[in-house]
Chains A and B, each alone.
Chain A
Amino acid sequence: MNSRRGSHTLVFGMVMLVLLAVPIFAAPWLSLDDPLAMNAGARLARPSLEHPLGTDRFGRDLLTRTLHGGRTTLLSCGLALGSALAVGMLLGALAGMFHGSWFDIVLMRIIDVLLAFPFMVFAMVIAALFGTSLFHLLLAVVILWWVNFARLTRSIVLNTRKSTSVDAAFVLGISPLRILLKELLPQAFGPVLVLATFELGHLILAIAALSFLGLGSQPPSPEWGSMLADGRAHFMTTPHVLLGPALFIVLTVLAFNCIGEGLRDRIDPYEKHRI
């Protein structure tokens, strides 16, 4: 029953994501306006056929900017999360494989420290040290975001190591690296994928929040968080300026959360009952 419901949620999330991703990634090939082109004569225009989401204070088409901003947001989030995932899985697997070693002990203490560090504060520190840019923001993401994946991977590797098949592999003299790659890591892929899907939603919100504060993408690049910040001054008189980025943030996060929940139900249908 859970599995079927999980499938529905998963399909719903996937469909929503595809519906969002197709126009976002096809934006350069769609005959849309230039996302950077200013037009003083069309400032803060209300939604119309020409500008379905209206225009911003510079007369730039908000639909175009929202779609191009989505490329920036999704690609950067995907890149940062992919990097964090790779680092986290590798270190977590090594820590689990060499459980109790100095490497494992040091790594776990580092993870404890990083888990206690608020991401927003850390991103602000990075911005203060190296300047405000999307690259520095993503650097902060990678530095802090890998720890969850490392902890999960380590715990799964530790659990799987106790299985008879792994014991047998050791007895047969198979190299630890091969055991890690062939036996242990594959067990972690599913749960880590579920976690990554949920984390992607959180990451989109975090990056949008930091861009809103001016710590991420810099002008004139469109990005959902910075678009919200730009539109804030006109919100009371022309609320449509926030509609595009706000709607896409909500729908994208919702899509990733649905996918995550659906994947979790499919991969481990009993997980929900245990929680």
Chain B
Amino acid sequence: MNRKKLLLPLLFIFVMILWGCSGGGQAASENAAGNRAEAAQADNSAPNSGEAPGTDEKAPQELVIADQEIAAALDPVQPLTSSYLIAIGAGETLFKADPEGKIRPVLADSAEAIDANTWEISLNPEAKFWSGKKVDAEAVVASLERSRELDKQVVPYIQDLTFSAVNASTLQVETARENMDVPLNLSSYQTLIHNAEAAYDSVDTMDLSGMYKVTAFEPQKRMELAVNENYRGTKPAIARVVHEQISDEQTRVLSVLSGASHIAHKLPVSAIEQLQAEDTVTLATTPASNTQTVYLNLDQPKFQDVRVRQALSWGIDRQELILQAAEGQSFPVTTWLSSNPAFAEARSAVYAQYDPEQAGRLLDEAGWVPDGSGIRMKNGEPLTLSLMTWGGDRALGETLQYQWAQLGIQAEIQHGDYSLIETARETGKWDAFIEAWSTFGEPHTLLTGQYSPEGGGNYGGFDDARANELLAQLEGASDEASRHALALEANTYIAEQAPVISLYPRPQVTAVSSTLEGFVDHFRPFENLVNEHLKFVSP
């Protein structure tokens, strides 16, 4: 009896060995894909089913999107909520960036610079909120002022702007600085236009203007939307959208491969090879215009010495980092702004190459010298660092940990939910974390948001006289050439002095079912999940 009991596990082990060594997984994957395709053909109720070529009338009219995170609230002034509402077609801004980076009107009709400090924005006369209320100048001003009051993240984009209604269809914007690019600032998701009189405590009381209306919502779980029948423009071809939160990245991969969802967003780069082998999905891999950045806390005495911060940056082999943590799907940047194509020349303005010897010298000078075991010590304390990561950044954290370990720095990785990072920031008890902010926008606005003492993204507490002076000069620059030159100078100085380490633009991987047509890849992740031209077709 006992011998018989042993047979089964031994047989299982034997099969596993054979399978593992023969690369059977690939074959199994292909077979699975084939089976799935057959199943989809056979079952018209499956999301990726279809019969005739071209648009499939019997295709499902519900688009399922699996995302790493969905909105945690309905009120667009809550952190990040506006980005999800725009991505899913519920919310709109006055302007948006097209995939080429050009700014196009959305709720606005046109924009004109009257003089160096004044813009006039004509609003689309057909624009209405879901409630039927017109999106007129008063409503836009009320929306932006509500955001200014309640959403700290919008401050960098509108802090220098004063809004007033000229008449129902014309908005006037006074700028504190000359020659500001107001439409660019008003294309950021934080400036989502919403009815400021609405309550936003349920799907019935919220009032936005997008082509889809929210019909059901479970925070951080599921949002259901249906076509806004009163939408002014082209109505979307797909009647319903479900935005589903699936936090585990590998589960999102399986979700789109199995046909349970049609779009899987923010997939791990490690899944690229697997997804490329499948003919049931297509891949979108446009790099985002943001910079993976390590933020350091200046409240920690060890990071108050600029030599330590610089050593951490010199001690990173970014090329290897990209290979290990991003499957080679990005490029190294050493300054924050340089993931923006307009500032590509600043990609290696400082820390031009991996230089562990320079890093070691700086640490020696700062008093952190290796002990017998190679650990850098000062006053009997080891140089340690607790690095918080979230989402798909665990591999990035682990590679950084290894590279810093070569310098004698003990890094501990804490990988978990983003809320852990938020909590740590609130309490001030953190060493370092990784985050990627957008670098597409007006340089002064972006740099002020990250590096001025009052900037919402200045997590490390950077307050430097020279940096503030450069930002002030940038604010006063009157022509494009001098603005660009000053932005570069500030960007370079900040890379050397601020408690941040720029790594590379975050690669973004989206898998789209081959039954779906019209998906537009975009360098701004919040601009692209749905559009009015999306439709189901036969695979």
Contacts and interface: CB of A to CB of B under 8 A. Distances in A.
Interface residues of B, number: 41
Contacts of A68: none
A46 interface: yes
A174 interface: no
Interface string B478-509: 00000000000000000000000000000000
Interface stretch (B16-24, B289-297, B303-311, B347-355): B16-24
Contacts of A261: 2
A190 B19 CA distance: 41
Interface in B411-427: 412-416
- Of A8, A38, A214, A261, most buried by chain B (CB within 10 Å of CB) is A38
Contacts of B402: 36, 38, 58, 220
Interface in A202-237: 214, 218-220, 232-237
A59 B28 CA distance: 24
A9 B320 CA distance: 50
Given A12-B6, A57-B395, A47 B21 contact: yes
A99 interface: no
Contacts of B413: 218-220
Interface in B46-76: none
B9 A254 contact: yes
Interface stretch (B258-266, B267-275, B466-474): B267-275
A235 B16 CA distance: 12
B85 to A, nearest CB: 30
A131 B424 CA distance: 12
Contacts of A59: 324
A43 interface: yes
B29 interface: yes
Interface in A1-50: 5, 8-9, 12, 36, 38, 40, 43, 46-47
A38 B320 CA distance: 10
B6 A237 contact: no
Given A12-B6, A219-B398, A219-B413, A46 B23 contact: yes
Nearest to B9: A254
B25 A250 contact: no
Nearest to A8: B2
Interface string B166-185: 00000000000000000000
- Of B2, B277, B413, B414, most buried by chain A (CB within 10 Å of CB) is B2
A136 to B, nearest CB: 13
Contacts of B16: 243, 246-247
A234 B250 CA distance: 10
Contacts of A219: 394, 397-398, 401, 413, 415
B216 interface: no
B323 A40 contact: yes
Interface of B: 1-2, 6, 9, 12-13, 16-17, 19-21, 23-26, 28-29, 249-250, 268, 270-271, 273-274, 277, 320, 323-324, 394-395, 397-399, 401-402, 405, 412-416
Given A47-B21, A220-B398, 11 more contacts: A5-B1, A9-B2, A38-B399, A47-B20, A58-B398, A214-B416, A236-B29, A239-B23, A239-B24, A247-B13, A258-B6
A236 B323 contact: no
A238 interface: yes
The 6 closest A-B pairs by CB, nearest first: A239-B25, A243-B20, A233-B270, A240-B20, A236-B29, A219-B398
A132 interface: yes
Contacts of B401: 219-220
A131 B399 contact: no
Nearest to B403: A38
Contacts of B6: 12, 254, 258
Contact of A250 (B9, B271, B405): B9
B514 to A, nearest CB: 18
A45 to B, nearest CB: 12
Interface string A253-267: 010001001000000
A156 interface: no
A5 to B, nearest CB: 6
Contact of A132 (B268, B399, B414): B414
Given A132-B414, A251-B13, A57 B323 contact: no
A93 interface: no
Contacts of B249: 233
A74 interface: no
B21 A240 contact: yes
Interface residues of A, number: 37
Contacts of A157: none
A54 B535 CA distance: 44
A237 B24 CA distance: 9
Nearest to B2: A9
Given A12-B6, A219-B401, A236-B274, A40 B320 contact: yes
A140 interface: no
A58 B19 CA distance: 22
A194 interface: no
B324 A237 contact: no
A242 interface: yes
Contacts of A47: 20-21
A237 B26 CA distance: 5
Contacts of A220: 398, 401-402, 413
Contacts of A38: 320, 324, 399, 402
B326 to A, nearest CB: 11
A58 to B, nearest CB: 6
Contacts of A233: 249-250, 268, 270-271
A258 B402 CA distance: 40
Interface string A56-75: 01110000000000000000
B2 A5 contact: yes
Contacts of B398: 58, 219-220
A234 B25 CA distance: 10
B277 A237 contact: yes
B412 A218 contact: yes
A132 B17 CA distance: 32
Contacts of B397: 219
A9 B3 CA distance: 8
Nearest to A46: B23
11 contacts: A9-B2, A38-B399, A40-B323, A43-B323, A43-B324, A57-B270, A58-B395, A219-B397, A220-B402, A233-B250, A250-B9
- Of A46, A219, A251, A258, most buried by chain B (CB within 10 Å of CB) is A219
B422 to A, nearest CB: 15
A239 B273 CA distance: 13
Contacts of B271: 233
Contact of B273 (A36, A237, A254): A237
